[in-house]
Amino acid sequence: MNIQDLEKLIKERRSIRQWKKQEVPDELLRKAVELATWAPNGGNYQGWRFIIVKKKEMIEKMASAVQSVADKIASWPEAMSWQEDVNRYQKNASFFRNAPACIGVFSGVYQSPMDKVLVARESFDREAKEILGFRRSAPTAIQSAAAAVATMLLVFHHMGLGAVWLVSPIQAKKEIEAILKVPPDMDLICLIAVGYPDESPQKGRKPVDQVLEFVY
Ligand SMILES: Cc1cc2nc3c(=O)[nH]c(=O)nc-3n(C[C@H](O)[C@H](O)[C@H](O)COP(=O)(O)O)c2cc1C
């Protein structure tokens, strides 16, 4: 693959939120997850787990759980301060119920050797506690899962599929983990809804120089 093809692949991928009814073959889903596991990850620990859900009732159950938490949050008086945004968010909370497939991404806790030392000292050493706080502010397990998800989305796009990375379902973490019977040592990181795209959204990016700085 030359750099132009790679650039096209990266720039033409969009988050897709409307899908055709067409089923997604298991082999494509399996291949996308397999390629995602080649993403860089902390210590090559590979503490991630993926659950591919194709059962419509189960996807609907997860979507209803997310919607019901969104409805609850929107009903709280504090929501009045951001009414318009909250309403929009509430309206879109469970669109993924129409996805032909939904992938749950989970992660176990990853402790590097440094984390182990810091945890052993945090109760009596303020500096160790502070450094541990820095490490916890950008957890390796979540960064690793994110690398896998980003890879998977590109693979899906290359396959002619359309997917969206969904973190908002985390608000129904407890319900989703129960629906999918996830072991207690695994935490939901996100869902990925995927199918054959039935929309072609356009989205741009800020010019790179607005977000980039070189230091020589
Ligand atoms: C960490 C993360 C969380 C996201 N969560 C949601 C979400 O909960 N719901 C949703 O519709 N899109 C979600 N998205 C998709 C973003 O809205 C989308 O990537 C962004 O608007 C840029 O659009 P594009 O992916 O088409 O380039 C998420 C993306 C990322 C990376």
Q: How far is the CA of 114 from the centre of ligand 1 (A)?
A: 32
Average pLDDT for 55-65:
98
Cα distance between residue 160 and residue 9, in whole Å: 11
Percent pLDDT > 90 in the chain is 98
The SS3 of residue 172 is helix
Residue 66 confidence class, pLDDT cut points 50, 70, 90: very high
> Residue with the nearest Cα to atom 17 of ligand 1?
15
The preferred substitution site among 18, 167, 190 for testing ligand 1, maximizing ligand atoms within 8 Å of CB, is 167
The residue segments making up the domain with residue 17 are 13-112+139-199
Cα distance between residue 173 and residue 168, in whole Å: 10
Give me the number of domains the chain comprises: 1
Percent pLDDT > 70 in the chain is 100
Q: Are 163 and 153 in contact (CB under 8 A)?
A: yes
> Residue with the nearest Cα to atom 23 of ligand 1?
15
Flag whether 17 is in a domain. Answer: yes
Q: How far is the CA of 208 from the centre of ligand 1 (A)?
A: 19
Q: 73-128 pLDDT, tens per residue?
A: 999 999 999 999 999 999 999 999 999 999 999 999 888 999 999 999 999 999 99
Average pLDDT for 17-38:
98
Q: What is the CATH number of the domain that holds 44?
A: 3.40.109.10
DSSP code per residue over 141-153: HHHHHHHHHHHHH
Q: 122-165 pLDDT, tens per residue?
A: 999 999 999 999 999 999 999 999 999 999 999 999 999 999 99
Flag whether 2 is in a domain. Answer: no
The preferred substitution site among 164, 173, 189, 200 for testing ligand 1, maximizing ligand atoms within 8 Å of CB, is 164
Flag whether 216 is in a domain. Answer: no
Q: Is the pLDDT of residue 208 over 90?
A: yes
Flag whether 186 is in a domain. Answer: yes
Q: 175-187 pLDDT, tens per residue?
A: 999 999 999 999 9
Flag whether 123 is in a domain. Answer: no
What would the two tokens of residue 161 be?
């599929």
Flag whether 96 is in a domain. Answer: yes
Cβ of residue 101 lying under 6 Å from some atom of ligand 1: no
Helix (H) or strand (E) holding 56: helix 56-75
**Average confidence score pLDDT of the chain:** 97
State residue 159's pLDDT score.
98
The preferred substitution site among 153, 165, 191, 199 for testing ligand 1, maximizing ligand atoms within 8 Å of CB, is 165
Cα distance between residue 149 and residue 165, in whole Å: 8
Cβ of residue 164 lying under 6 Å from some atom of ligand 1: yes
Flag whether 4 is in a domain. Answer: no
> Residue with the nearest Cα to atom 6 of ligand 1?
166
147, 156, 153: which is closest to 189 by C-alpha? 147
Flag whether 126 is in a domain. Answer: no
